[in-house]
A and B are shown apart, each in its own frame.
Chain A
C-alpha cells in the first residue's frame, strides 16, 4: 500500500448487505417465524391469538415487499396498499363465489345489487388456483403499466411517491362506488367457507396463520437470495446512483420495473392471506394513510435489512392492536411520535438500538469525512 493511501485505513463500516449466512438478524427472524408456526400447531393457543399472529405475519409480508423496492432500490411507494387490496379483493371474490357454488346461498352483495347471478368478471373465481393466478397476475400487470410509464419517463424520488399515493387514492374512490360490483363502500364480508370447510373452525384459523407464517419465511428467504446476488448488487448501485449505473451500460428501467412488479406480487400475496383471516375487505384498505403506514413500519423497523421490515410491521401493529382497544384516539399521536424518534435518533430504525451510540445523530458533531 502506498503512503498516500495510508491515511485512509480506517475500520471498514458495517456492511449494508452482509454475505449469505452473515445476517444473524434475518436468520433469527426466520427462525422465530418457523418456531412460531410450530408453536401454533403444538400449543394450540386461543383462536383470537392465533388469528392475530396470522394477521401480523400478513402485514410483515407486506412490509418486506415494500422494503425490497424502498430499502434496496430507493423507490418509496406510498401506494402499496393498492397491490395488497388487489390480492385481498380477488381473495374475497373467490371466497364469496366458492361459498355460493357450494351452498347455493347467494352472497349479500348479489341481493344488494339485485343480481340474478354474479357478473362476468367473477367467472371462474370459485376455483382457488385460478383466483390465485388472477390476483398475482393482475397486481403485477397494474404495477407493470404504472411502473413502465413512470420509470421510462424517469419519474423518480418524491414525484414517484406522490404519484403512487395518488394511484391508491384513485383506486379508493373507484372502490367506494357501489356500481363496481365489488361491494362498494361496504366491501365484502361474511365469508363462510374456505376450501369447503367453515372458515371459523379452530383448525382453519391455525391453518391460515401457519400458512401465512410459512409464506413469510419463504418470502424472506427468497428476497434474501435475490438481494445478496448479482441483481441485489445492481439494486444497491441503482439506489445509490442511478445515473452512474446507466452510464455503465445497465438498463435501470428494466431492473426497477422487474423488482417493482415482484414487489407488487408479494404485496398481493399478503392481501390474499390477510382477507380470510380478518374476514372483511373494504375500500378503507386503499386509504392513503394505510399505504403511508406501511412505509412507517419499514422505517421504524429499519429499511434495507428485510428482518427490520418484519420487526417494524410486527412491533407497530402489535402496539396498534393493543392501543386501538385501550385508547384509540391516542394512536395517531403515538405513531407520529414513533416516526419522530426514528427520524431524529435512529436513522436505521429499531435496529439501531442494537448498536446504540451515546449520542444520537443530531447531537453528534460532523464525523470523520471532511
Chain B
C-alpha cells in the first residue's frame, strides 16, 4: 500500500519536457522531500498531482486505487490532496479564522468546523491573530496560515511547495517543527525545498529530480555523497 504512486509521468509544454517518464512512490506516514535545480520539474510535479497541469502520459494514483490523472482540481482536493503554494496564497480580504474555515473544505460537517479551525490555530500558533486580516500578516505567518488551511481539511496527502522560502532562520526552525508535528501514520507529506539543512531536518527520504527525471532516491546522507547529484548541483 502506497499513499501516492506516480507511474511513468510525462508533462510536455510545447517542445519542452517538464517531466519525462517520472516514477515515484510515497508510503503512508512518510515525509518525502523532492529537490533539484531550477527547471528540474518540481513544481510541475505538484501541478500534475493537483490537476493544474495535464499529464501528457502516465498515471497518478492516490492510495493505490484512486486515479487522479483526469480529475479536476476540486475533485482532487476533495479526495484529500492539499497543497501549499510556493508563493504564500492566503485570501487577503478574509481573516485568519475565515481562511481556515475555507480551508476545512465543503465536505467538512458544520459541527466540526469550529473544532478544526481551533485545532489549526493551535497547531500553527496563530491563535492571537485569528481575527486579523490575512493580507496584513507577516510573510512567515502567511506561510503558517497556508499550512494551517491545508491541515484544516484533514488531508491524506500534503504537498508543500518551498515552505521556508524567504523565512528567517528562526522561522525556518519553527516551520520544521511544525512539519514534523504534522506526521501521522495515515498521512503522507511531500515537500519541495531548496534548503538542504531544512530537508535533512524533516524528510525520511529525498528524491532528486533533474530534467524531469529521478536522479537519485534515498536518504539525505546518500544524496550528499552521490557523484551525479553533486555534479548536477555544483556543476552549473
Contacts and interface: CB of A to CB of B under 8 A. Distances in A.
B74 A249 contact: yes
B174 A16 contact: no
A5 B170 CA distance: 10
Contact of B74 (A8, A12, A233, A246): A246
B91 A4 contact: no
Contacts, number: 91
Contact of A234 (B50, B82, B102): B102
Contacts of A233: 94, 98, 101-102
**Residue of A5, A234, A240, A250 contacting most chain B CB atoms (<10 Å):** A5
Contacts of A236: 91, 93-94
8 contacts: A8-B140, A8-B141, A13-B133, A17-B93, A233-B101, A241-B91, A249-B77, A250-B102
Interface string A1-43: 1111101101011011100000000000000000000000000
Nearest to A251: B74
Given A8-B137, A8-B141, A233-B98, A2 B174 contact: yes
A13 B141 CA distance: 16
Interface string B34-69: 000000000000000011100000000000000000
A244 B52 CA distance: 10
B216 interface: no
A361 B72 CA distance: 40
A252 B94 CA distance: 17
A243 B93 CA distance: 16
Contacts of B106: 249-250
Contacts of B171: 4
B205 interface: no
A244 B132 CA distance: 20
B94 A248 contact: no
Interface in B127-154: 128-129, 131-133, 135-138, 140-141, 149, 153
A40 B106 CA distance: 47
A250 B74 CA distance: 5
A13 B135 contact: yes
Nearest to A368: B136
Contact of A15 (B76, B133, B140, B170): B133
A245 interface: yes
Contacts of A252: 74
A246 B89 CA distance: 12
Given A13-B135, A233-B101, A2 B82 contact: no
A237 interface: yes
Contact of B77 (A17, A234, A237, A248): A248
A250 B153 CA distance: 12
Nearest to B149: A248
Contact of A248 (B72, B92, B135, B153): B153
A153 interface: no
Contact of A237 (B73, B85, B102, B170): B102
A234 B105 CA distance: 11
A180 interface: no
A239 B85 CA distance: 17
A247 interface: yes
A4 B133 contact: no
B132 A12 contact: yes
A248 B103 contact: yes
Nearest to B134: A240
B29 interface: no
A243 B52 contact: yes
A22 to B, nearest CB: 13
A246 B77 contact: yes
B219 interface: no
Interface string A213-255: 0000000000000000010011011011101111111111000
Contacts of A241: 89, 91
B73 A4 contact: no
Given A237-B94, A246-B77, 10 more contacts: A2-B125, A4-B168, A12-B133, A13-B133, A233-B94, A237-B93, A243-B73, A247-B77, A247-B83, A248-B105
A5 B138 contact: yes
A275 to B, nearest CB: 37
Contacts of A239: 93
B165 to A, nearest CB: 15
Contacts of B136: 8, 10, 12-13
B112 interface: no
B231 interface: no
A5 B141 contact: yes
Nearest to B107: A249
A4 B140 contact: yes
Interface in B87-116: 89, 91-94, 98, 101-103, 105-107
B78 interface: yes
Nearest to A252: B74
